[in-house]
Amino acid sequence: MTDAPVETVVFDVDGTLVDSERDGHRVAFNRALAELGLPDHWDVGTYGELLAIAGGARRLAHWFESRGRSAGEAQELAGRVHARKTALMAGMVAAGEVRARPGAVALTDLLREHGTTIAVATTGTRAWVEPLLDLAFGPRFEVVVTGTEVPELKPSPAAYVEALARLGCDPARAVAVEDSENGLRAALAAGMRCVVVRNDYTRDHDTAGASLVVDALDAPALVDWFRARLGLSRRGPGPVAP
């Protein structure tokens, strides 16, 4: 794939920009299940396994069916639980319970300071994504595409295709920042380069095709990778030395 200069960087949200899966979504799911009087509870390990299924409502439906409910009953119950979970997640965001990953703000600052457009492409619901981004990052993203507008889940490239279309950006000059195999596949299918920033849930994912794989947004290798493509030296400001 081309190593053209980077004009646009499009970030995933869940597990990438924010620590939202284990102590965010999982907690909100468990609270919703308990509020509705259901005996189901997802511990850290169980939720990690369920993340192989993209989309919270689909995850719930799969879980309920695997516990003996009919497909129709599972779908109906999943819809009710997911609606309540979304409201609870929004409340957690407002209360500051979901935070940016270390290095996220500094990396987006670096990109913006050197003329790079930054955007978001997530399959999360706008009801919680938008206030989370506002609280953790402020108004810095040129475009925010969520699952509310583009319901096709990753590894479909639909969210990335929509974000690039809104920006009028050539995919060859765009880079995605993701945490998971599904996100990586979505970005590559959209014709973009992708760097993967793994978390505890995604360390064993297949990352073949990624331009770079690191474990943190403040990893020196990641910062250097972007600085090189912004025409900056690895240490300190200024152009790359010839």
Positions marked catalytic:
12, 14
Longest dimension (CA), the chain: 66
Tell me the C-alpha to C-alpha distance, in Å, between residue 163 and each of 50, 136, 170, 189: 27, 21, 11, 14
The number of beta carbons lying within 10 Å of the beta carbon of residue 75 is: 16
Say if residue 39 is preceded by a cis peptide, omega within 30 of 0: no
CB 181 within 8 A of CB 206: yes
Contact 44, 154 (CB under 8 A): no
